[in-house]
């Protein structure tokens, strides 16, 4: 088996595992919240219902939510013939379904893909990307985004944007209810010791949940960026196009970028937040992506 396709299969298994971890976190919060309130079974049921509803909403509507959050607008072949034809050409060359094409009206160069599968996906690029890149570089970037679609990274990334945000929101509600006395007293004195333990665990989960959500975003993005780079090079047969594009995009990110968004940064080909940091070390610590220098090095070694 081609090593790339072996890694794609491995990523699909990891995707299922990460979704399972999200579900377990929801259930754990529901369970201990239920113990504190006096009915752990009800807490579990409520958590499962919330998880299923949020998952379905993010699965079927996540693509629209992401493009709306990014300020991306769909364009037709008549509106953007060069961009549309480039995506269409890659689609034909790779035998992949044609994704919808979106543009973000900002001068900061970047791009992302979103969706739930190759038949229901979008690629979005900024106006600045089209201005700064030549055709081979643009093809490399678009091939990278189509690789994310082909590798099913977009499913995990799109749903994770909504689920991670929900976990953070859910945890904030729990913390506020606990610290400001909003939670009830459940079964009273008979279960007082169990309630105290449940309360402690619940507080810990509520504090750690946002950290866990961020760690999941890191797990989603970093290794998958390397794989998408390699797959894109395989699609185009010209790794230098993407390597050169990554250098231009990285060097063009700016402080207080109009596209910077904590929920969406991990979707972009280069994390927009690196423009706010002045050192490679800081970027490596805080970015959802591997260092651009390492990505370029690997591409040029192909």
Which of the residues 80, 137, 145, 225 is marked catalytic?
A: 145
Q: Around Cβ 226, how many Cβ atoms within 10 Å?
A: 16
Helix (H, G, I), strand (E, B) or coil at 124: strand
Q: Which residues contact 120 (CB under 8 A, 6 or more apart)?
A: 63
Please list, residue by residue across 162-195, b when 16 or more beta carbons sit within 10 angstroms of its beta carbon and e when fewer do.
Answer: bbbbbbbebbeebbebbeeeebeebeeeeeeeeb
**Strands, sheet with 120-126, edge to edge from the N-terminal-most edge strand:** 72-74, 100-104, 120-126, 111-117
Helix (H, G, I), strand (E, B) or coil at 114: strand
Q: What does each C-alpha distance from 214 to 124, 160, 174, 175, 279 come to in angstroms? A: 23, 10, 18, 18, 21
Please list, residue by residue across 141-151, b when 16 or more beta carbons sit within 10 angstroms of its beta carbon and e when fewer do.
Answer: bbbbbbbbbbb
User: Is 145 tagged catalytic?
Assistant: yes
**Catalytic annotation, residues:** 145
């Amino acid at each position: 088996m081609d090593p790339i396709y072996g890694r794609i299969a491995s990523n699909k298994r990891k995707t299922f595992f990460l979704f399972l971890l999200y579900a377990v976190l929801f259930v754990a919060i529901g369970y201990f919240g239920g113990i504190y309130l006096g009915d752990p079974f009800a807490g579990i049921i409520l958590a499962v219902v919330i998880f299923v509803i949020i998952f379905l909403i993010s699965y079927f509507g996540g693509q629209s939510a992401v493009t709306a959050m990014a300020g991306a607008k769909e364009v037709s072949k008549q509106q953007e013939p060069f961009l549309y034809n480039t995506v269409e050409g890659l689609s034909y060359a790779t035998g992949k379904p044609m994704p919808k094409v979106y543009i973000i009206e900002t001068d900061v160069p970047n791009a992302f893909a979103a969706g739930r599968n190759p038949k229901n996906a979008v690629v979005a690029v900024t106006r600045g990307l089209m201005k700064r890149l030549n055709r081979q570089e643009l093809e490399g970037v678009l091939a990278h985004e189509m690789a994310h679609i082909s590798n099913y990274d977009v499913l995990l990334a799109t749903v994770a944007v909504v689920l991670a945000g929900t976990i953070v929101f859910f945890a904030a509600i729990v913390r506020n209810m606990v610290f400001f006395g909003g939670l009830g007293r459940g079964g009273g004195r008979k279960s007082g010791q169990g309630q105290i333990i449940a309360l402690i665990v619940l507080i810990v989960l509520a504090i750690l949940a946002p950290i866990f959500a961020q760690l999941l975003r890191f797990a989603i993005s970093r290794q998958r960026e390397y794989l998408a780079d390699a797959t894109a090079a395989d699609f185009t047969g010209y790794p230098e196009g993407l390597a050169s594009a990554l250098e231009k995009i990285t060097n063009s990110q700016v402080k207080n970028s109009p596209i910077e968004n904590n929920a969406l940064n991990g979707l972009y080909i280069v994390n927009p937040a690196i423009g706010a940091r002045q050192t490679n070390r800081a970027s490596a610590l805080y970015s959802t992506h591997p260092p651009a220098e390492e990505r370029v090095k690997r591409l040029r070694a192909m």
